[in-house]
């Protein structure tokens, strides 16, 4: 594996792989690799001839007072893990390479960035401007055939799918399943902030999702009972969610019933960590109505 720090070096290295028609997969990351990142790299390794991983803690997606300075960084360990995962190129630029002096452009995806994590009363859509801008830059720099993201950040995936469609970026977006600890806790670089006791409480996020899945599997479709089942698990762990919401799985519009695949998304602070998780609730198929048999007694069939 080669580590490159400039856009020019990366473009030259990718171009060298392209000469004989090799396919390129990109895994954008902010480092601090865990099994979730490694699953994205494994999928890229399986499907593509050349695998590029970007490692860049993107300052523009952190709001004021967020954990930009504290965000876990260990490039030496990350490089070892990426090499072991079969990555060909690790792109680890300094901030000035991505945002040189005078940088003045932002990519804004309207609508879906203004709910959930982008709600103006919470973090605001600025976080997603930062994500959309850096991902657009990475897609332009690497020009991959496929780019891989984790479904744990379902809103991020929706935003990236939208911008790729809207800006006609010729890339396939693959969103892979959330990787979890055996007790259900979704892997996240921010889990490193949790004390042992907080980590235990944080497992309630997954229990909340499972409780909602069970309610829907039992035939519940109305949003309030589904949300109440999830909320009960958070309450039991003394977690007050930033949000716990049902949304259309594609465009993130609010829904009041689970009548088609529906995203249940949760965000909560546990200790110093702001955690997110989600599941897609699949409604139980309703049996087709059986037409009344003609002439059956009591069905209003004409009597002779
Ligand atoms: O999910 C992340 O790690 C980041 O938001 C991403 C996509 C690498 C952009 O900085």
Ligand 1 pocket, CB under 6 A: 28-30, 58, 61, 131, 134-135, 153, 156
Instruction: Report the C-alpha gap between 191 and 195 in whole angstroms.
Output: 9
- Please enumerate, as own/partner, the contacts of 57-61 that have beta carbons within 8 Å and a separation of 24 or more: 57/30, 57/31, 58/30, 58/98, 58/130, 58/131, 58/134, 59/95, 59/99, 59/130, 60/99, 60/106, 60/129, 60/130, 60/133, 60/134, 61/127, 61/128, 61/130, 61/131, 61/134
> Which residue is closest in CA terms to ligand 1's atom 8?
29
Nearest ligand 1 atom, CA 160: 7
pLDDT digit of tens for each residue in the chain (304 aa)? Answer: 999 999 999 999 999 999 999 999 999 999 999 999 999 999 999 999 999 999 999 999 999 889 999 999 999 999 999 999 999 999 999 999 999 999 999 999 999 999 999 998 887 779 999 999 999 999 999 999 999 999 999 999 999 999 999 999 999 999 999 999 999 999 999 999 999 999 999 999 999 999 999 999 999 999 999 999 999 999 999 999 999 999 999 999 999 999 999 999 999 999 999 999 999 999 998 777 777 665 444 443 333 3
> Which residue is closest in CA terms to ligand 1's atom 1?
29
Nearest ligand 1 atom, CA 29: 8
Centre of ligand 1 from the C-alpha of residue 86, in Å:
20
Q: What is the pTM of this model?
A: 0.93
> Which residue is closest in CA terms to ligand 1's atom 3?
29
127 is a catalytic site residue: no
Calculate ∠ Cα 159-125-198, nearest 5°: 90
Residue 121 has which token pair?
A: 């009363």
Pairing of strands 172-176, 146-150: parallel
Domains of the chain: 2-176 (3.40.50.620), 189-281 (3.30.1300.10)
Pairing of strands 273-281, 262-270: antiparallel
Strand partners, 274: 269
């Amino acid at each position: 594996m080669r580590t490159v720090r400039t856009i020019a070096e990366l473009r030259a290295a990718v171009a060298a792989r392209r000469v004989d028609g090799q396919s390129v997969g990109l895994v954008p990351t902010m480092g601090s690799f865990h099994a979730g990142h490694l699953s994205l790299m494994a999928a890229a390794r399986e499907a593509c001839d050349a695998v590029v991983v970007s490692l860049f803690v993107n300052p523009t997606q952190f709001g004021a007072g967020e954990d930009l300075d504290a965000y876990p960084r260990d490039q030496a360990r990350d490089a070892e893990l990426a090499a072991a995962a079969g990555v060909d190129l690790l792109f680890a630029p300094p901030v000035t390479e991505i945002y040189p002096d005078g940088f003045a452009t932002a990519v804004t995806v309207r609508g879906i960035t203004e709910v959930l994590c982008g709600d103006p009363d919470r973090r605001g859509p600025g976080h997603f401007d930062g994500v959309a801008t850096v991902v657009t830059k990475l897609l332009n720099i690497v020009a991959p055939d496929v780019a891989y993201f984790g479904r744990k950040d379902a809103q991020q995936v929706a935003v990236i799918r939208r911008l790729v469609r809207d800006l006609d970026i010729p890339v396939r977006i693959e969103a892979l399943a959330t990787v979890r600890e055996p007790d259900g806790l979704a892997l996240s670089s921010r889990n490193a902030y949790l004390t042992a006791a907080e980590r235990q409480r944080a497992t309630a996020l997954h229990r909340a999702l499972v409780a909602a899945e069970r309610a829907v599997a039992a035939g519940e479709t109305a949003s309030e009972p589904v949300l109440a089942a999830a909320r009960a698990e958070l309450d039991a762990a003394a977690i007050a969610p930033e949000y716990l919401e049902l949304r259309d799985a594609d465009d993130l519009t609010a829904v009041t019933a689970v009548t088609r695949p529906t995203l249940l998304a949760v965000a909560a602070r546990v200790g110093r960590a702001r955690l997110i998780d989600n599941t897609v609730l699949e409604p139980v198929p309703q049996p087709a109505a059986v037409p009344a048999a003609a002439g059956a007694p009591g069905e209003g069939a004409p009597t002779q």
